[in-house]
Structure 1
Amino acid sequence: MANDGLMEYLRMPSFIKTFSEATSLNELRIPPEFVALHGANLPFDCRLITLLGRRSFPVRVLNIASGCHFHAGWSDFRITNEIVHHDVLTFTMVDAGVFLVKRYNPRTGCPPLGDLQATGYGDSDHSDAPDVDTSNDYVPTQSEGGDSSDGDDYASDAGVLDEDGCPTFTVTFDSSNINGTLEIPMAFWRRHIRMISLQDPVYFNVNGDCWFIILDHNETKIWVKRGWRRFKERNNVVVGVRCHFKLIDRNEVQFYVWFDRP
């Protein structure tokens, strides 16, 4: 069942647009190829969700001779999120008429810094505000981290790389580690992700819901510094739950997360 959910997420329909002030100030044309394939799932009233899931924006779909457009509500979405000329936007339909929208700087291929430090983000359930369980002073002990090895003999979950090329690590939570924070195996990070990316936030995706995570590290360990307590509570991570973290984007550092529950 977990693998079925993962593949469903990875196959969610999506499209990409480069924003143009000349054509998209008041409406945004949805690619006709997307409409041809998925138009039956486009209701009159849709919703756009920002990268971090902080806020939902209602938009109405207008179908006219020139094509299908996000119309009423698009301008408010554009202005509120400060979308500017040549911004690259991706739209992933996570539910019927519900799109998760990500923005990228066309020169760097990365989300603008302002998207990661937006005012008011600390009020969200997905906030990077300090957690009691993951404070600035927290350093994992040698015994923490579940069954995710941080040694040189780390091996990805059996069969995962052969299946889709996405490496995965797994942690089982028990009484010894449930009250701490999540460790990411150092060997996993060294093998699959640039070390400089430790300075940037990472994202955990659970069936289209994005969680903003801040890491910390020393010479031998990598752990979640901010955001783990909220993620754990909202996703009911308790003793006996086995969490799988699949790396689906090595540049922006995104993990798809699913759970095996007792």
Structure 2
Amino acid sequence: MFDCRLVMPCGRSWPVRLLNIASGCHFHTGWAEFRLANNIIHDDVLTFTMVDAGIFHVKRYNPRTGCPRLSDLQEEGVYGDSEHSCAPDVETSDDYVPSDTDGGDSSDEEEYVPDPGVLADDGCPTFTVTLDSSNISRSLEIPMAFWRRHIRMISLQDPVYFNVNGDSWFIVLDHSATKIWVKRGWRRFKIANNIVVGTRCHFKLIDRIDVQFYVWFDRP
């Protein structure tokens, strides 16, 4: 037997004993407590990454969207340490408010053109932004017309999540009558994903209730 520790994204951990028998290794003593505490159910997809001797980082994914469950990131308002991808970046864009002349009025329906074929393929609407020096140095704007068409306006009061290859970033938005922009989280996101001027970012809306975007990049 081996003593292990299972760590969830929110930072909480559980001691579990690993049992090695003929059919392989199995989590034994402590597994039931871990499963019940995290409400793990049939069809949940779990990954276990050994980061140190006996220490496993555990991520749970929604089988429908392929993204981590928000409840695992939000428990009791704890977002892990400052280096964790889901931690709020309190230094980002706090004072930035785009003027109504910057980039036009994003509430104009004609300004939003969805990626051709994406909605028809999987039912998930997508918008695309090619980043310029203003995006990089200030903040990312989300097309108001896209939000109005696909997401409830009340959801602007809640955080959203950007998901890249299984890692999630906690994003806080702000808005005016005509614009939506990232207030917190943009600096950490762009640095971690090596985003530079000319990068084309695709944002696919995979959850309209607990707002999550799957993000991928075309790099210059």
* SS at structure 2 position matched to 1:177: helix
Q: Is the 8 A contact 2:201 2:218 kept in 1?
A: yes
Instruction: Within 5 Å, give how 1:167-206 maps onto structure 2.
Output: 167-206=125-164
Q: C-alpha root-mean-square deviation of aligned residues, in Å?
A: 4.1
Say which SS state the counterpart of residue 115 (structure 2) adopts: coil
Between the aligned partners of 2:217 and 2:191, the Cα distance in structure 1 is 13
> What is the match of residue 123 of structure 1?
82
- Deviation digits for residues 73-118 of structure 1 (CA, Å, limit 9, x no counterpart): 6478x39xx937xx46543449899752269xxxxx9738952621
Residues 9 and 73 of structure 2 are in contact (CA less than 8 Å); yes or no, is this contact kept in structure 1? no
2:168 to 204, 210, 219: 210
Residues 1:152 and 2:109 are matched in the alignment: yes
Deviation at 1:175, TM superposition (A): 2.3
For residue 141 of structure 1, report the CA deviation from its aligned partner. Answer: 3.0
Q: Unmatched 5+ residue regions in structure 2?
A: 51-55, 63-68
Give the match's secondary structure for 1:123. Answer: coil
Pairing 1:134–2:88 present = no
Decide whether aligned partners of structure 1 residues 173 and 110 sit closer, same or farther in structure 2, where only a CA change above 3 A counts: closer
Cα 1:92–1:144 shift into 2, 3 Å:
farther
Match of 1:240 in 2: 198
TM-score by length of 1: 0.62
Q: Please tell me the residue identity of whatever aligns with 1:234.
A: A
What is the number of residues matched between the two proteins?
A: 204
Looking at structure 2, the residues matched to 112 and 234 of structure 1 have their Cα atoms a distance apart, in angstroms, of: 21
Report how far residue 143 of structure 1 moved: 5.4
Which residue identity lines up with residue 121 of structure 1 in the other structure? G
> 1:91–1:99: 8 Å Cα contact kept in structure 2?
no
Long gaps (5+) in structure 1: 1-43, 104-108
What is residue 37 of structure 2 aligned with on the other side?
83
TM-score, L = length of structure 2: 0.72
Residues 114 and 162 of structure 1: is their aligned pair in 2 closer, same or farther, counting only changes over 3 Å?
A: closer
Answering whether residue 212 of structure 2 is matched by residue 254 of structure 1, we say yes
